[in-house]
Amino acid sequence: MIQRLLDFLNASPVNFLAAKNICEQLDKAGYRRLDARLPIGKISAGDKLYVTKNDSSVYAFHIGTKPMAEAGFHMICAHCDSPTFRIKPNAEMTCEGGIVKLNTEVYGGPIMSTWFDRPLTLAGRVIVRGENAMSPLTMLIHVKRPLLQISNLAIHFNRQVNDGVKLSKQKDVLPILGIVSEELERGNLLMNVILEELVKQRPVKREDILDFDLYLADATPSCTFGVHNEFLSSGRLDDLSMCYAGLEALLASADNGAVTKVLAIFDNEETGSQTKQGAGSPFLASMLKRIAFAESGSEEAFYQAVERAFMVSADNAHAWHPNYGEKFDPTNHPVLGGGPVIKFNAAQKYASDASSAAVFAELCNKAGVPCQRFVNHSDVAGGSTLGNILASSIPLHGVDMGNGILAMHSCRETGSAIDHVYCVKAFTQFYDTE
């Protein structure tokens, strides 16, 4: 199970590739891809369906033996985006000696210093000319070799570097791509890399490349570490580990379950979720409404299903850090290896309340899995996540939870291997419980 997670993390350096890899596993498991532009058609018990939005969010539905209006639905939601750096248009900047660096902008809230002095690569989607202007083609790329690096300034030029440095997002975090070796390469180095990757998939001409959404990613593979290989080391644990745990549970759950099972993988959580493919979009609500109507012939079925539904908003939590214990709540600080973490916040940044927390804790108990609770230290501001954003458009009873990790939003985060196993067990129990 851990090796499958590592393989998924390595194959999913950005949101687009994570969505693609999830879709491929759904295809193998017999899920039928829907086209949201077309009628859904008749829905029957046992049907397995999924739909995508913007190539970067995925919504899977396994229809239960009981109508949604009677049994509701059980939903796990997570997000597939992570903090990184986006490549700007006209990105090449040629410097002394022909060195080319790329102009970038920050995506989300990364710990920027963790991206320095490590091999990086490029991944994302490229938009290619199609049959007409309204229907361009999308191609995904992942350069599977070290390609770039953001290099630090030597300590000799900044003697205070170990006292803390304020980094400029425009100046200090621009990655080095290469050196122009001939005049024809000037201004074309990045495009040459893109074209080289595209032609591995199909014939593409330079003039057919219209635009791209490309991001930096760590080129070092994910791994386990520790005396007993008990820890996970990887970029994007937040939140791809929860995406994959939800997928594994969905595929492992019973085929003849009474309750409809939903897996919702959103994009753009790291920038506020207010996009057509984010948790703030009405897209999921509209798909659920269409499915409920196709199943029963009545829109009323959707509203009844919502009142009987339960949501698990799965986004990783902060595990207790052995070097910074003072940052954590004195009585509610989860530890690595201690099991899934239920998250609470008095300001309602999380969807959890006593009722929904009790439900999830009992599911963990039935699965034979330990369960923890997280509350922020009252003097330390916390973040928000999917649950309360989604609940503002679909009034779902639900809980916010996740596995505890260290160094959240670092280029490389640390998690627990056994926590992933625990989480898949808890999620599978959730999907199989009426």
pLDDT on residue 374? 96
How much is the average pLDDT of 401-416?
Answer: 98
How much is the average pLDDT of 132-136?
Answer: 93
Q: Decide if pLDDT at 329 tops 70.
A: yes
Count of positions (residues) in the chain = 434
Band of pLDDT at residue 184, cut at 50, 70 and 90: low
pLDDT on residue 349? 87
What does the alpha-carbon distance between residue 266 and residue 80 come to, in Å, rounded to a whole number? 6
How much is the average pLDDT of 416-430?
Answer: 98
Please answer whether residues 419 and 336 qualify as being in contact, where contact means their C-beta atoms are separated by less than 8 angstroms: yes
Please report, rounded to a whole number, the percentage of residues in the chain having pLDDT higher than 90. Answer: 89
pLDDT on residue 378? 92
How many CB atoms neighbour CB 89 within 10 A? 7
How much is the average pLDDT of 88-111?
Answer: 95
Q: How far is CA 295 from the centre of its chain?
A: 30
What is the pLDDT of the chain when averaged over all its residues?
95
CA-based nearest residue to 423, from 383, 368, 352, 385 = 368
Band of pLDDT at residue 277, cut at 50, 70 and 90: very high
Tens digit of each residue's pLDDT (9 = 90 or more) over 22-42: 999 999 999 999 999 999 998
Tens digit of each residue's pLDDT (9 = 90 or more) over 224-234: 999 999 999 99
Band of pLDDT at residue 196, cut at 50, 70 and 90: very high
Measure the CA dihedral 360/282/272/329, to 10°: -20
Going by the DSSP 8-state scheme, the letter that residue 427 receives in this structure is H
Going by the DSSP 8-state scheme, the letter that residue 138 receives in this structure is E
Q: Decide if pLDDT at 9 tops 90.
A: yes
Q: Decide if pLDDT at 46 tops 70.
A: yes
Please report, rounded to a whole number, the percentage of residues in the chain having pLDDT higher than 70. Answer: 99
Element (H, E) at 390: helix 386-391
Band of pLDDT at residue 347, cut at 50, 70 and 90: confident
Please answer whether residues 74 and 431 qualify as being in contact, where contact means their C-beta atoms are separated by less than 8 angstroms: yes
How much is the average pLDDT of 385-391?
Answer: 88
How much is the average pLDDT of 341-355?
Answer: 92
